Amino acid sequence: MNSKELYNQYKTKMQKIADVKYASAVLQWDQETYLPPKGNAIRGRQIATLSEMAHQQFTEEATGDLLNALMSKNDLTDKEQKNVLLSLEDFNKSKKLSSDFVRRMSEAVNTGFHAWIQARKDNSFTSFKQPLDALIQLKKQEADLLGYQQHPYNALMNDYDKGLTVNIVDKIFSDLKPQLSALLNTIQNKPQIDNSFLKKHFKKDSQWQFGMAILKQMNFDFEAGRQDISEHPFTINFNNNDVRITTRIDENDFGNMTWSCIHEAGHALYEQGLPGDEYGLPLGEYCSLTIHESQSRLWENNVGRGLSFWQHHYPLLNTVFPDQFKGIDVEQFYKGINKVQPSLIRTEADELTYHFHVMIRYEIEKMLIEGSLKTKDIPDCWNSYYNDYLGVQVPDDKRGCLQDVHWSHGSFGYFATYSLGSLYAAQLYAAINRQNPTLENELALGNNTALLQWLRQQIHQYGRYHTSEELCKKATGETLNSAYFINYAAKKYNGIYTL
């Protein structure tokens, strides 16, 4: 069989496996948005069955034979070679996990997610403890099965960013933490910003309509996606023409919905920009979760908390909520949405203290996976870290260790990508502004086109072709450099707090 025939056979097989995976993803999306409560148990079975089927199809010997046959060909295109190489890496990794293990993990995630929902309703960690412990034990087994060097947590972080290790993240965080603390201390010695106007009453329907207007202006393609409500905002895709996002709305907090919309839209724009002709193949998938978070954090913070963005959107906001923002000009609004203050909730945190929220979760996860922290001790450990890192007292579990959905999904190893994504975002945004000095003026006019085109060209089009660091160097001229974030933050908050 010639190379072209073999490659077409490979492509067909990979796309059929993707069909099964994305069918499961549709069920997961429905589970978090519209599924009636009594459907929980059977839905978990359906998702587990599809997960097991996809894993069996991908890890069968015929797949390995096909990939190895393609690896021996020397007339594939560069992109074809990369697809095959990455698929072979995925195949060898997936072979380390049995189909039975994949099914048990899927069932545990389903149980864990619904237990988390109930625990939040009860505002008690107690009912989540046992399902979470079952997930943690499975994740520890997964780390052992996948194999690792130095620390078991490395095996799990590698799932979200290839090559990411405890040593790498520890060094980044140890460099970042004192600089953030110094900037935070300086800000806390200045008169505090008043953002009370963000805590007035904002009707749910009006917030929803404003959020939808923001998404449209950001060029989110509603013919290739939709937005709904969920307990925790998330983005999910089934192909680049079907990307779904969710938000949540608090009628007494304008920021809750607004920046979750912008954040998730950043994820969605990335998914909508991936190459559709590579569906089911590695080059049709995102580079890494770290780069994915760079896209959401860039839109949420560098753009969505920027003065230029609101110079265009603030007049619309005033027409939607004329009473709530009466007497507040755009400069006051800009300062209010960038108020720096230690707080309880990660998704509502300012750009500086946000990293401490991430560091806390990272440290807790490391201890859980290495076995030095027991599941039952999570609330006390969490509360102690919040007091040490942020100086805040955690009043209850819902605003403490139950606030994030990630553990109920089995997503251990994810949290570091949020901070790393913010660092990449600052570096990318600096590169965009160097190459397009009129960008801020364009944003002030409501024109995001040049920004999105740059991201499409420099990030989105490549799929998984490059690693995170390779992609960063290609786009900015150097690998990750946290100085860009520190310089960005110092300049921004100097203007807001007159440091």
Contact status, residue 466 vs residue 328, Cβ threshold 8 Å: no
Cα distance between residue 66 and residue 479, in whole Å: 35
Q: Which amino acid, one-letter code, is at 445?
A: L
Q: Are 235 and 268 in contact (CB under 8 A)?
A: yes
Partners of 229 in the beta sheet?
Answer: 247
The one-letter amino acid at 225: G
| Exposed / middle / buried, residue 298 (Cβ in 10 Å: 0-12, 13-18, 19+) | buried
Residue 382: C-alpha distances to residues 259, 365, 375 (Å): 25, 11, 11
Please give the Cα distance from 367 to 204 (Å, whole number). Answer: 40
> Cβ(103)–Cβ(51) under 8 Å?
yes
Quote the CA–CA distance of 297 and 306 in Å, as a whole number.
Answer: 12
Q: Are strands 242-247 and 225-229 parallel, antiparallel or unpaired?
A: parallel
Name the nearest CA neighbour of 191 among 348, 335, 386: 335
CA 256 to chain centre: 16
What is the C-alpha separation between 4 and 249, in angstroms, rounded? 51
* DSSP, res 193: P
Paired tokens of 425: 């975002």
Active-site residue identified among 32, 52, 264, 469: 264
* Bridge partners (DSSP) listed for residue 245: 227, 235
Token couple for 452: 């999105």
Q: Does residue 107 carry a catalytic annotation?
A: no
Pairwise CA distance, residues 288 & 466, whole Å: 9
Query: Phi/psi of residue 247, each to 5°?
Result: -140, 175
- In angstroms, the CA 22 to CA 118 distance is 27
DSSP 44: H
User: What dihedral angle (degrees, nearest 10) is formed by the CA atoms of 35, 37, 41, 46?
Assistant: -10
**Would you please indicate which residues are annotated as catalytic (active-site) residues?**
264
